[in-house]
Chains A and B, each alone.
Chain A
Amino acid sequence: MSSTVLITIISLSLLAFMSAVILYFVAQKFKVYEDPRIDEVQAALPAANCGGCGFAGCRNMAEALVKADSFDGLNCPVGGAPVMAEAARILGKIAPVVDPTVAVLKCNGSPEFRPKTSSYNGASECRITASLYIGETDCSYGCLGNGDCERACAFDALHMNIATGLPEISDDKCVSCGACVKACPRNLIELRKKAKKDRKIYVACSNCDKGGPARKACKVACIACTKCQKVCAFNAITIENNLAYIDATKCTFCRKCAGECPTNSILELNFPPKKPKIEAEAETANV
């Protein structure tokens, strides 16, 4: 080997070695102490970084869990009970039982029920249309159909149905992170308690106008006639601002309210078809 090569190798190696030594000491001097449990808890979390827990990413949630005295108010909706149990085990705390939830759309105003009364032209984002005017129908509370919720969903659980103009939520993919709830400018999406076999009963309407204008705008609007409230034996239904609401924690899925509703505003999903002796219209189970 020529002397040039030798000198080059030696000088570069020396440079590398010196840098390594300097870096080691600097790293030691400026080291920030972090509780090693944060890394352990973070490894247990699903790493989706969706913000559903209310924190800015899984690392932030891990830090909060380690710092907290108890797990009250802290929950990872994506990971659910198994992940919270694991975190509890690592930190020696108790994970409270939190009911799993799923997103539902409180509007059923497809064009067959809710006629179009104007034609919107412009940037297709729901938040822009909502700030401009009432929307392409006469219902000032209903879904605008431009898909802000679909764009917000990071789990591929929400897709716009072109025929109905409404978003469809897939129960198995929805992790209840709440991104769609925040994205909807009309607050139409609610995280409701999950029931067995993905059954759902809820008032698919958010219209707070009086019965007359509500019904004129949409055939399946809630007109606050209070028939559902009267027939519910479990006090699960409240009526406020001309709109009925079914409390999912009290509802026993007896389905009596849906049968009473004169406008078919209450949606029953994933139930077996009603027995033929009941003359009420069978709700179509798949939306």
Chain B
Amino acid sequence: MSNLLNVSQSPHVHGKESTQRLMLNVVIALIPAFITSVFYFGAGAVIVTATSVVSCLLFEYLIQRFVLRKPISINDGSALVTGILLAFNLPSNIPVLIIVIGSFVSIAVAKMTFGGIGNNPFNPALVGRVFMLISFPVQMTSWPVPKGFGTGYLDAVTGATPLAVIKEGLKNGEPISDLIARIPTPSQMFLGDMGGSMGEVAAIALLIGFAWLLIRKVITWHIPVSVIGSLALFTAILWRVNPEKNASPMFHILAGGVLLGAIFMATDYVTSPMVPKAMLIYGCGIGIITVIIRVYGAYPEGVSFAILIMNAFVPLMNSYIKPKRFGEEVKNG
């Protein structure tokens, strides 16, 4: 035998998982949401998504090649996923330059400054989105209403999202029963026929994506279920106490970015806890903070802020919440 034998430590086999495959499965899970966004918002959806993806990949490539001088890793798919998720958080008529700035913040500031993939404490897409919200409040809060597949990029007509309608209405003292007429029905909201960001409107598409992620074992059920569950629980309590001043839990789940946030943003590997017990606490925290911001805060939508706030607690949770070790409880034989 002419070749030298390879020697390495056990195990000598490896499973089929790889970072690339995981990211690819996330992209596949986002395809239904992309289809619905194009269906409702037209060309704008395609342009915004394409710009975001290209910018994110480009910035990661440029930084790795010229600034850090490290091996290029854009083919692991994480910048692609960040690009798509960032796009899904935006209105479909947002100017291209703003998207590029947002992508820069997502990749360069929120991810690469901390050391690249695996080291960032905050969800990059959300950091980009929040930066854009604060820097360009007008463009970032004019949400197009769905006009159909043929809508041009700049033809979008904007209107108030269901959450905004409720928030404004309650501020003006109108009871919920009056406001119900001015927002889409639950089945409309489920199918996505409402104003909002591109990816958050169609609940059905997001749930299909969720099913795909679970089947392919990309994520576990803990975070999405605890986010949606805690949100439902607290809005249910508020609704029971005063149905005229608080919308129903079903409304809260279908309106706004809760499903998108719970399924795709909160479950981001790098910024979520490592232990199932901690994941449940993390999810509940997001749910509660979202409800607080929606009900008592200044913004109509609170999921992005809730996730970022809970991201800050994740290192603490990882340090103190440990899994119960095998054979831990019995101290003496």
Contacts and interface: CB of A to CB of B under 8 A. Distances in A.
B9 to A, nearest CB: 5
Interface string A121-141: 110000010001100100000
A124 to B, nearest CB: 11
B97 interface: no
B50 to A, nearest CB: 40
Nearest to A133: B7
Interface string A6-41: 000000000000000000000000000000000000
B134 interface: no
A119 B9 contact: no
Contacts of A118: 4-7
B4 to A, nearest CB: 5
A120 interface: yes
Contacts of B6: 118-121
A136 B7 CA distance: 9
Interface string B5-23: 1111100000000000000
Interface in A173-189: none
A121 B7 CA distance: 6
B4 A122 contact: no
Contacts of A136: 7
A128 B9 CA distance: 9
A165 to B, nearest CB: 15
B7 A132 contact: yes
B4 A117 contact: yes
Residue among B4, B7, B8 with max Cβ neighbours from chain A (10 Å): B7
A154 B165 CA distance: 63
Nearest to A134: B7
Contacts of B4: 116-119
B70 to A, nearest CB: 17
A119 B1 CA distance: 14
Nearest to A122: B8
Nearest to B10: A132
Interface in B4-45: 4-9
Interface string A102-119: 000000000000001111
A118 B6 CA distance: 6
A239 to B, nearest CB: 32
A121 B5 contact: no
Contacts of A122: 8-9
Nearest to B7: A118
Contacts of A132: 7-9
Contact of B8 (A116, A117, A121): A121
Contacts of A120: 6-8
A111 to B, nearest CB: 12
Interface string B76-99: 000000000000000000000000
B71 to A, nearest CB: 16
B14 to A, nearest CB: 12
Nearest to A131: B9
Interface in B96-139: none
B13 to A, nearest CB: 13
Interface in A135-152: 136
Nearest to B4: A119
A130 to B, nearest CB: 12
B281 to A, nearest CB: 34
A181 B210 CA distance: 54
A153 to B, nearest CB: 23
A121 B4 CA distance: 12
B2 to A, nearest CB: 12
Nearest to A115: B4
Nearest to B5: A118
A247 B5 CA distance: 40
Contacts of B5: 118-119
A122 B7 CA distance: 8
A132 B8 CA distance: 8
A103 B8 CA distance: 31
Interface in A37-58: none
A120 B4 CA distance: 10
A272 to B, nearest CB: 41
B117 to A, nearest CB: 19
Contacts of B7: 118-121, 132-133, 136
A268 B4 CA distance: 33
A144 to B, nearest CB: 12
A121 to B, nearest CB: 4
Contacts of A117: 4
A136 B6 CA distance: 9
Given A118-B7, A120-B7, 15 more contacts: A117-B4, A118-B5, A119-B6, A119-B7, A120-B6, A120-B8, A121-B6, A121-B8, A122-B9, A128-B9, A132-B7, A132-B8, A132-B9, A133-B7, A136-B7
24 contacts: A116-B4, A117-B4, A118-B4, A118-B5, A118-B6, A118-B7, A119-B4, A119-B5, A119-B6, A119-B7, A120-B6, A120-B7, A120-B8, A121-B6, A121-B7, A121-B8, A122-B8, A122-B9, A128-B9, A132-B7, A132-B8, A132-B9, A133-B7, A136-B7
Interface of A: 116-122, 128, 132-133, 136
Query: Which 9 residue pairs of A and B lie closest in terms of their CB atoms, listed nearest first?
Result: A121-B8, A122-B8, A119-B4, A118-B7, A119-B6, A121-B6, A118-B5, A118-B4, A132-B9
